[in-house]
Structure 1
């Protein structure tokens, strides 16, 4: 048989068509529906027909091979082949393969090399592997014997252009609106994930004006995506018109959402997404980035729901505990100016004492039994938790408020920075107490060392009447008449001098006097009864660092303060005796606590004196302060608030130049997150938080 006849029999051609080549990597489907139902059994055409360049052949899948001349040496990704297979399964192969016959020693072997369409061939093999088609299924191919296979393989992969993002957005939206297809159905038909489809549909929410700016090259894709966080076209366009030199996507998102509330905000956590949406609120979701729950659009509604929930908690506290009043606040009212009482030690009943001892003994027994065990059995772990809860319940009974305090005082119900309600008890309003106004020996009120009358007016020396010595009045028999103010000041000035001299010679008593003066101001708000003119001032750090009150160090400080406050006598007149009776260690501990509350090392834009900063450093060094125990550099607390250059410098210092180089090309948000993870295992701190080691 002639060579041309053998070749003709090997090529089962049925038609000749003219085709236009396209890329096999396009995102539309390829074909099961358009292939022949089985390998055609028609007789082979004569050699003149079947060998003609451009002839359409139906070739069984198992007769197709990858061309050794294929320009693509990097294999198709699994995701790409999956996408092609999904599209082919739904719509069939929309673009035929281009093939050339395989020959051996100049004779056709009956197999064909796929010059164009290797991805579609792999997709069909995947479908056959899943038994969605037979390996003998015939695929529509076009014979190309005129062109160099390597050249046309390169050509079809290079001379192509993917469908633009705006065009994809419009086409997906048309399918959703005109055919009623959801994201899952569209995804199944085009071999992409439903999430990708949702992203494209969400881009349809971008203002047509901004979409045209993107088409014209005025916006990058990342910037366009940032605008899609909201569907408010007016808001999008206003933000675009006001963009400054900083056009980072993160800045665009911040500008678009600054009137909204992040789902990570304490108010959103406290109320919850379900309660908010049930009340008619809308949550904006960012489908393109990790939005941590989105943004609550109606801030006013969210605040109202917070107050309503706090009010319900307050009503429960009033009903169960009996306080005179409760006051709800989203932020703690630091300027309330009220005195506060703390629970006092209370002796446990015999029943509670016995229960506490028994529970503690059982806890100690289990602790000894399972000492050294790496992982506790589930039932034992639960037993430990129950015992700890019972111990805590009984121990809380060891401190309580007096009934008269509860009847006169009130409670602040405040939203904490962790999204939980804080209940602060024991405050007394000025109207509910009658503050004693100190008087002088003449019965006149004294304010800041100045005598005043009942109307609060300053009494001048000439108005006091009895400012001269009794001998000058000639009324020597009136021994009950008080001394003149001038003489009283004169005598007490000498007494003050004597006290100063004596106190300076008795350090132990001086220590008691100083601690007493500090304690009166620390635990008896508004009290100024000490003759030592020592003024204590304590800055509220929450006004400088949002959320600092809910950190572990702040809670430890609050617990220490509450512990001392519970020990303070109810009557301020008893405080001197309390302080004087303390042992040396307790006295020093109370002094240290009171002094600690006066520390202020906060740096403000209006810089404090350099000498103050020097003292701060000296104190930190003397204390051997280690801030790694109290603060951790994170994206939220540090890296997200500094420049990329500062981030890279920190990583370089903490983890090395090579590590810093690996994140140098990242965007700001990703770089901040990566820095947090890279530095987490180190003891790195910003220079402002470092403590110099004391000189050896």
Structure 2
């Protein structure tokens, strides 16, 4: 039976089959605010008496409660239309399932037509958006879709294209352009929304394009340009007449180039609406200019900086230097080097005699700012004062006999380098567009190009080849680590039959015949072999992507690498070893070795950190978990955290006056007298006797 129940008498039920939280409650609240609850809720009697549980209609209930909490309606007085159903729990769940299963949401096409029809009588988009709990942009987007070219809207209504695809076509209001792209892409199952959006965007210009920023929207619109508001992307609006924008930009840049050229007395200034001069200098000669000479004062200062830096380097090489002192010297050194580079990096000088013979380019930056290049070119080779060429490049006539056939035009004349490059790019683009339809082939090609690199230098026609990383120099006699052994074993297990054919094409076909597991193994080894040890030669930091990979894989370096005398302990100072012992075992442990030679401490450390020494459980656990900060993935470590001097302290006996651990006095070790600082016996094979 159908009746009304006060909102306050309703509550949510576990018998409702919809377990996910209802979405867009705000929109439902807006609809209830405008028209009330138009569809009955299905409820069943509940305890305490007079209460009802909601079997179906949770979203309507939550929308009404949102209005009640906002004070717009009174839950105790607000009547909710309900239909009361009865039955056991199984029956009620079946009713809930049936009600939800039979309800069919409006299709996007139906929503578009409905909003379009509604707005014919009420043209206030903001009011409509408010009444339906949507944003203005959502309503405008549905209206844009309602005005799609007829074949595209029909495809959306019939479910032949998705809502995302329809939005991609709706990224422009130009129906002719929509239809052109739809005819090209609309019948392919391999095309996605991004490809459609890019195809449409090729005929438009972003409002953030450097040319658009230079021209300005006001000037563009005043000249008759059209701007389309982008409703389905955050990329910004688009200009529908890019040719007009280019014409306006060319006029602006040509006027500025003329003004600057006359002002500086240059032979010519050519405007280029890009930051790159690629192709623009093909027929020109670069003019090499000497930098401005140093003044006597600047030269004297430069020599003084060199002398001071040599002194600083000697002072910083002292192992006994205090940290604060070292930091101050290092800061002064960096400051002087920067000053030296500034003094010796003067811009080139263009003499008045040469100004009338050379020119340069006016380029356009990404922010729409015009910049005059500081590199100069001449149209013919120039001679310097001594008769030598002042041009860095010269033109030469190309011999067509050495050119490939595709670089020669009919009649035997060579194509211009620029035209040949343009044709090559277009040929590449055709292949690139075609390979989009076959991701499997693209994957095979990528893996082959990366895996086949060991054959030597070969051109595979792609930039994704994985070259060997340029690792820092490693000792030739260093024993193989556990990780290196694992890499070798993985490489030996690979299916290498495809590497036997001679030509790259034959090897590629053989590689394609491998099964998925074999290809996956090649992929893993290839990627693993491409990892770089450091972001660059000068950086000590861990690559953040490596750190993320390590966290995903839950890598624990201590399980793969253990410090030994050869790979660590012999290569750091005695003070570092004592500080390390303090870190894992406390001051008492370190105090036992203050009087020992560095070599003895290194040997003992090797046993301790390999878990072979007899010691307390906590100390052993800390030692087995320890690796240098430089081997950790979760932090960046400065290279000077350790003194990597192979000879540091090898033959130093500890004097009572110089017994320090990491710069601290021995008193800090908690040692009462000198007797406790006696060196370990040579016979002692353990680091610590069990206490």
TM-score, normalised by the number of residues in structure 1: 0.48
Greater Rg over alpha carbons, structure: 1
TM-score when scaled to structure 2?
Answer: 0.48
